[in-house]
Amino acid sequence: MSTRTIQMTDTLYNYYRNVAYREPDIMRMLREETETMPMARMQISPEQGQFLAMLVALTGAKKILEVGTFTGYSSLWMASSLPEDGKIT
């Protein structure tokens, strides 16, 4: 399980995990592999990833420039909400 990065009560967090939490298997596998690395704390949480994906979808972004990346976990989240002609650099 990832480190909680969004401040909320245990009750609300458990609700979120049971109802709204959606981490595709490929992203879960990447997150779990990254958690074994010495600098794992650099990785965003699944909650942050879902938030980034939501922002991409809500803004209708077609191009994303990510400055600095670790293992690509956040890039995958953002790319998951891009349209087919979208691009992430």
Distance between CA atoms of residues 13 and 41, nearest Å: 20
Q: Is residue 13 part of a domain?
A: no
Q: Is residue 4 part of a domain?
A: no
Report CA-CA distances (Å) from 89 to 13, 25, 52, 61. Answer: 32, 23, 15, 13
Torsion sign across C-alpha atoms 20, 11, 42, 27: negative
pLDDT at residue 75 is higher than 90 = yes
- Decide: pTM greater than 0.85: no
* Confidence band for 6, pLDDT divided at 50, 70 and 90: low
Q: How many domains does the chain have?
A: 1
pLDDT at position 77 is 95
Query: How many whole angstroms from its chain centre is CA 1?
Result: 13
Domain of residue 29, residue span: 25-88
pLDDT at position 1 is 42
pLDDT at position 15 is 86
Q: What are phi and psi of 87, to 5 degrees?
A: -145, 135
Q: Mind listing the pLDDT tens digit for each residue in 60-70?
A: 999 999 999 89
Q: Is residue 72 part of a domain?
A: yes
Q: Is residue 16 part of a domain?
A: no
